[in-house]
């Protein structure tokens, strides 16, 4: 392997001190511009690379934020990361991104990698089956701030950026009730996750407020995948008393459920009105277009990084009391309009 060029190599060739080379490469005001240009040109010619890692160790800062997401292949998470990247760049930080693939075991490994990479702060949205905070404890002990977004874990020394999932679930279900639905099914994910438990509570509260019976067998817990959508359609087809409305906590699952229902002869929304969640682009491809909940992904990413950077700069502390709650909204389309009074 070819030997790395050092400032001492440059200094020897130019017959100047290593300190002068170091100051010139770091744009120190004590070095005149002519000397900086000369040293910079020679460094480039020799293939010199700054040892950022060593420099960061000396400064005890890497200007890097770690990010752990459940999956990279979702429209929502892509929007979140776009917001994070933009805000991080404007603040002079880089992102180190990893995905847990919805596995707590992989998330533990990701957290260890982030910790050993000496990130200045960690942003995390936890996996489906994460049950403990243990793998984040080292960050807290070392004074490295941790901020959760979307799927969060409550911890007194951690902040979070979320939407009001309970309100979103309430509004989605209330809309179906306003359209005349009397028997509404809810398809959700792992209820250990705040996003799904919140939407379920909103669904239940809307039923109770409007005098609609809450039936446990109308709540289905799935992985909200494409296959889950097909499974839900099959289950509905086999039911003796079928629902006339369905609120699904994910657009991908909702669209595949709609496709399968249509293949079985159901008319949407006349036979069954459908509401999804996330405002994924696929919601406007399916016919009829899917009513869904707009989830501000880019705004969430921006807010998460901004909060973390402000903490690192000493502007505001991170703790559970300064959690950021962003606004979502119901986007009404044809898939849920049984009557067209809206």
Sequence spans of domains, the chain: 7-50, 63-164+297-329, 165-294+330-336
Provide the pLDDT for residue 338: 85
CA 271 to chain centre: 34
Provide the pLDDT for residue 341: 47
d(CA 208, CA 58): 60
In CATH terms, the fold of domain 63-164+297-329 is Rossmann fold (3.40.50)
- Say whether 95 sits in a helix, a strand or coil: strand
For the chain, list residues with pLDDT below 50: 341-342
d(CA 62, CA 75): 29
| pTM assigned to the model | 0.81
d(CA 240, CA 100): 40
- DSSP E strands in 236-302: the ranges are 245-248, 273-275, 292-294
Q: Which two tokens stand for residue 102?
A: 């919805």
Q: What is the pLDDT of residues 2-29, one digit of tens each?
A: 577 888 999 999 999 988 998 888 888 8
Q: 222 and 228 in contact (C-beta within 8 Å)? A: yes
Each residue of 182-219: b (16+ CB within 10 Å) or e?
Answer: ebbbbbbbbeebbbbbbbbbbbbbbbeeeebeeeeebe
Q: What is the pLDDT of residues 234-258, one digit of tens each?
A: 999 999 999 999 999 999 999 999 9
Provide the pLDDT for residue 342: 43
Which CATH code is given to the segment(s) 165-294+330-336?
3.40.50.2300
């Amino acid at each position: 392997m070819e030997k790395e060029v050092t400032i001492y190599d440059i200094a020897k060739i130019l017959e100047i001190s290593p300190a002068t080379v170091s100051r010139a490469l770091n744009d120190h005001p004590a070095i005149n511009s002519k000397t900086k240009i000369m040293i910079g040109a020679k460094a480039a010619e020799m293939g010199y690379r700054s040892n950022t890692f060593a420099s960061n160790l000396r400064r005890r800062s890497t200007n890097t934020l770690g990010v752990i997401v459940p999956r990279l292949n979702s429209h929502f998470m892509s929007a979140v990361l776009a917001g994070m990247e933009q805000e991080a760049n404007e603040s002079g930080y880089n992102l180190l991104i990893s995905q847990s693939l919805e596995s707590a075991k992989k998330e533990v490994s990701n957290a260890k990698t982030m910790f050993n990479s000496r990130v200045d702060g960690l942003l995390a949205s936890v996996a489906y089956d994460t049950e403990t905070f243990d793998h984040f404890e080292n960050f807290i002990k070392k004074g490295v701030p941790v901020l959760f977004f979307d799927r969060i874990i409550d911890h007194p020394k951690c902040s979070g950026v979320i939407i009001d999932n309970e309100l979103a679930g309430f509004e989605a279900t209330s809309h179906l009730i306003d359209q005349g639905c009397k028997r509404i099914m809810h398809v959700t994910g792992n209820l250990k996750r705040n996003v799904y438990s919140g939407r379920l509570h909103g669904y239940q509260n809307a039923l109770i407020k409007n005098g609609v019976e809450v039936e446990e067998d109308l709540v289905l817990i799935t992985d909200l995948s494409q296959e889950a959508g097909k499974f839900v359609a099959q289950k509905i087809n086999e039911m003796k008393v079928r629902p006339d409305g369905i609120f699904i906590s994910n657009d991908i699952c909702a669209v595949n459920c709609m496709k399968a229902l249509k293949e079985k002869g159901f008319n949407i929304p006349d036979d069954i009105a459908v509401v999804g969640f996330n405002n994924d682009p696929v919601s406007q491809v399916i016919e009829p277009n899917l009513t869904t909940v707009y989830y501000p992904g880019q705004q969430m990413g921006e807010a998460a990084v901004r909060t973390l950077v402000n903490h690192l700069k000493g502007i505001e502390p991170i703790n559970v009391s300064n959690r950021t709650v962003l606004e979502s909204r119901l986007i009404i389309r044809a898939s849920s309009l049984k009557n067209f009074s809206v």
